[in-house]
Structure 1
């Protein structure tokens, strides 16, 4: 380097940028949340907003700014904008967060109008909370007349139906909240079950509603179409009144032992208090006892109805599984039949054996359902002539 060059300041050149290189902003670097195919609010929150419109203006439009002024909320906040969007996605409200005015939809008006019959309001609420949202409608139709599945199963189902991985938990949380809010998630037989809309309406005034069949006179957990006996396991059990020892025992056996044990067999588990058809209840029970693919009889408490129905099943000469509490003695005439004995003395003895009892029921069911499995019972053993000539 020459002496003249040494005294000159050096010029630092910026590195050349590739022609196709783009400048990435910090906003672009931030992870983006997936678009959710369901509203951002539970139905209860959106419904309260729709109810506020009903209270303020009925089925007439109301200025968005006026409405939020009455609600003591900012109409331009992100929370308010999201609430309007959710109410729109539920089909409750017409107009967006940019609209000058907001108005209830026809269905939103039916759901919130105090002059509408209770059953009409309930049906409209159901249609908004479940039917209006495609993913919720699909989940509901998949699990109707069944126990509410585990969280893991619901997560898989929601992803299969289009929920993003980072929004699946929010999806099922909102779905379950909506089911409860509109009354189609009920605790029955000791477990939460997704029930038909008619079941939620049956305690309401029986107003005929367009699009609904006349309400059934009995518990509508299972529709007549669902009573496919070849896919049914009927549980013969002492049931008793709600809250009684009989009912608590029956619910525990059904939800904690029988249903989990049979979940891989493709059988719908039905108990007498879950039969849907109207008519003489004894006739319905007899049909289930006689025709179901499998019957499980709980002999606990020596209930006479149970023994009557068990005898009818013996006469049908079809598979049956017997179980009984350790505290009860197996009747003499049934001692030759295999019986699963469950020790319900206290939870210290019961809980450690839950898996064992479930496995026993599964094993008995598998054996009973095998093609060509024998169905020996007191009638076939001692009165075989009764069954001669049967196919």
Structure 2
């Protein structure tokens, strides 16, 4: 008999965890911005558009089409976020969901690119008060340091405990809608007019297809050895599944760079210790210790670059356990079908000129996904949870 995974993230009792979750949810009700990126909400709006040909759709029917439970917390959050962005009408208890007029423009790929982009910018940035304030404050400048953005978010009325999340979502949205561009070797916040002038006035199927493709599909290791620890240590751990390779190899250099420059800085706000397999140094079976980390760590980040077979094996274990995971990869990899259905942060490492200007954006992308995974660890979305929702590994 398949039993539910036991994965305690705190030493609290079951009742205390429920009370803490309710308190946290109530506190989050005051969030003055959506709890996900615009791209994620747009993908949901696009599914509504495709399913109903632009007409209102039954909420239950569209989620059945998406093979998701309409009553799950993840599905409810999708509806809430789409509504906050102004893409859809109808709450998570409504019988029907309908796209707004701007929502229709944002998802209709037959519209001229300029008209579609104008609608997306209005919804993703201008409609959200805090995002609009940040955009207007830094318009025409290089993307400022994260600390400066956080201070500006607080000035714009974002509660202090939500400022980092607001900044991450703002930066991701800014890049997705085209207002954050690499110019003169740095990421700069450009005007709406500047961006729209780069687009064709009329729809062109080839150009529009390239533009409409989600642009987002596109750090410090602890010195010393890691010791196998009790549950409390796993609760403070993020295990990094990555191709490591031999000392001096391309894979080792790649992994070291991602750890030090992207992944660990993205984890800093969450207080999680990043652990890689080569940091495990304790007598015993290394394979058992790695599996312990995969199945018991609070979070796993998996780098799918180089199509390393060990990485995919370890990823499958985490999927089967239905525990929180964030996927990243180089843009040049063509991900296998089984895993490309999950959101993957794509990082262009083709040359230093493509990578360096976007480091801060990639950190924000990872932080945003980590935050969502930790806030709702039960809302795990992978092929196993989608097609076999009752299957769950037993972890003792």
Q: Which bracket does the TM-score occupy, shorter chain normalised?
A: 0.3 to 0.5
Query: Under a length normalisation based on structure 1, what TM-score does the superposition of the two structures give?
Result: 0.45
Query: Under a length normalisation based on structure 2, what TM-score does the superposition of the two structures give?
Result: 0.45
